[in-house]
Copies of this chain bind each other. A is one copy, B any other.
Amino acid sequence: MDLTLSPAEEAFRDELRGWLEANHPGREPAGDDAAFEFRRVWQRKLHDAGWAGLSWPEEYGGRGATLVEQAIFNEEMVRARTPSVANVLGLAMGGPTVIAHGTEEQRKRFLPAILSAEEIWCQGFSEPGAGSDLASLKTRAVRDGDEWVVTGQKVWTTFAHHAKWCMMVARTDPEAAKHKGLTYFLMDMEQDAVQVRPLRQITGESEFNELFIEEARVPKENIVGREGEGWAVAITTLMHERATLAFGLQVSVQIALRELIETAGNARGLNGAVASEDPVIRQRLAQLLIESEVLRLNAYRGLSAIMRGGVPGPEGSLGKWHWSEVNQSLTELAMEIAGPRAMLSASDGNWSYRFLRARANSIEGGTTEILKNIVAERVLGLPRMR
């Protein structure tokens, strides 16, 4: 065990830290479009300096960075409180899936524009009738010469209104068993056959969308993996979602907790005393400090395991599940600290929004129920739930 950085890793960190100090883009502007443009510019700047797709092979525009460098990168982003990048799904899920299952042509075609944020990616897996039971999806794709014709409906497609490409799973063999007849497509979002309808959330904003797909066309060279093997490719995407994003998520919790502690230090709590000096609040803040440390350490231990073993395993499910609980507790405590202002939307630090937004954490990217099933069955080897 050695949790110190090697000289090379230290050099990497110092370089990055220096770069971030010089290039931090400041606070994100308000408004969906302005914020998105801001993130796109920020990603391009990162990319130009060689910080995007850090762990991707150099031949595809990455830096071939080690997992530890990737982790250092995430840590430094927390420390500097940088905003998000524009192409989150392309970087975390689309790119890795194309690298793992794509053809050489696909890699050359798609990867550079992911890195530069020229082409934004979204993900079309879930459907109204296929949530946790993803493989029951009904969107169909029918072969027509060199193209596939896709018809169906997708939900929860983040960034769909900004996206050029949708990584999508559709049923290509209605006769085959549930998991067998699926194929993984990269669908061009810029066609009339694809309609994006924003899905308003309980927070009031529309971060997600519905896709209505009516005979959309996908050329056959945009299949990832082989026809009928879409399920395996989709699992890769989901594993990357849970593993890679989980690392990012713990980082976001660290930031949020630091902000909450600041808030508590400035808030007048019960009977007028400073909230962070209240013994009951202190206990809960301390517990969150501990839990967020667990998230961080588990993510690092996961990296060490990948370094030894190769691919991310089902343990990633543990991190996503745990993160959702920690983030929900954190935002609930923020509401308690807000006192009567918990009733107002415009609370300091945007806590009311975050509190509502956190309710989705245990649903998006795999519900907690499904993640517990995965842990029980695939990590602990318990019998399949019937």
CB-CB under 8 A from A27, the residues of chain B are none
> In angstroms, how far is the closest chain B Cβ from the Cβ of A219?
44
A279 and B271 CA atoms in complex are apart in Å by 13
| Smallest Cβ-Cβ distance to A284: which chain B residue | B280
Per DSSP, chain A at the interface is helix
> In angstroms, how far is the closest chain B Cβ from the Cβ of A180?
25
> In angstroms, how far is the closest chain B Cβ from the Cβ of A9?
41
A278 and B279 CA atoms in complex are apart in Å by 9
CB-CB under 8 A from A283, the residues of chain B are 280
CB-CB under 8 A from A386, the residues of chain B are 386
> In angstroms, how far is the closest chain B Cβ from the Cβ of A276?
14
A278 and B280 CA atoms in complex are apart in Å by 10
> In angstroms, how far is the closest chain B Cβ from the Cβ of A277?
11
CB-CB under 8 A from A278, the residues of chain B are 279
Query: Which residues 228-282 in A have Cβ within 8 Å of B in the complex?
Result: 278-280
| Smallest Cβ-Cβ distance to A278: which chain B residue | B279
| Smallest Cβ-Cβ distance to A386: which chain B residue | B386
CB-CB under 8 A from A280, the residues of chain B are 279-280, 283
A30 and B219 CA atoms in complex are apart in Å by 85
Q: What is the 8 Å Cβ interface bit string for chain A, positions 53-81, against chain B (1 contact, 0 not)?
A: 00000000000000000000000000000
Q: What is the 8 Å Cβ interface bit string for chain A, positions 372-386, against chain B (1 contact, 0 not)?
A: 000000000000001
> In angstroms, how far is the closest chain B Cβ from the Cβ of A285?
13
A386 and B384 CA atoms in complex are apart in Å by 13
> In angstroms, how far is the closest chain B Cβ from the Cβ of A142?
36
CB-CB under 8 A from A279, the residues of chain B are 278-280
Q: What is the 8 Å Cβ interface bit string for chain A, positions 306-345, against chain B (1 contact, 0 not)?
A: 0000000000000000000000000000000000000000
> In angstroms, how far is the closest chain B Cβ from the Cβ of A336?
12
| Smallest Cβ-Cβ distance to A282: which chain B residue | B280
A283 and B386 CA atoms in complex are apart in Å by 41
> In angstroms, how far is the closest chain B Cβ from the Cβ of A331?
20
Q: What is the 8 Å Cβ interface bit string for chain A, positions 179-205, against chain B (1 contact, 0 not)?
A: 000000000000000000000000000
Query: Which residues 92-117 in A have Cβ within 8 Å of B in the complex?
Result: none
> In angstroms, how far is the closest chain B Cβ from the Cβ of A24?
40
A280 and B280 CA atoms in complex are apart in Å by 6
> In angstroms, how far is the closest chain B Cβ from the Cβ of A87?
43
Q: What is the 8 Å Cβ interface bit string for chain A, positions 272-306, against chain B (1 contact, 0 not)?
A: 00000011100100000000000000000000000
Q: What is the 8 Å Cβ interface bit string for chain A, positions 349-386, against chain B (1 contact, 0 not)?
A: 00000000000000000000000000000000000001
**Listed residue (A278, A279, A283, A386) with the most chain B CB atoms within 10 angstroms of its CB:** A279
**Listed residue (A278, A280, A386) with the most chain B CB atoms within 10 angstroms of its CB:** A280
A386 and B283 CA atoms in complex are apart in Å by 41
A386 and B385 CA atoms in complex are apart in Å by 9
> In angstroms, how far is the closest chain B Cβ from the Cβ of A384?
13
| Smallest Cβ-Cβ distance to A385: which chain B residue | B386
3 tightest A-B contacts by CB? A279-B279, A279-B280, A280-B280
Q: List 6 A-B contacts (CB under 8 A).
A: A278-B279, A279-B279, A279-B280, A280-B280, A280-B283, A386-B386
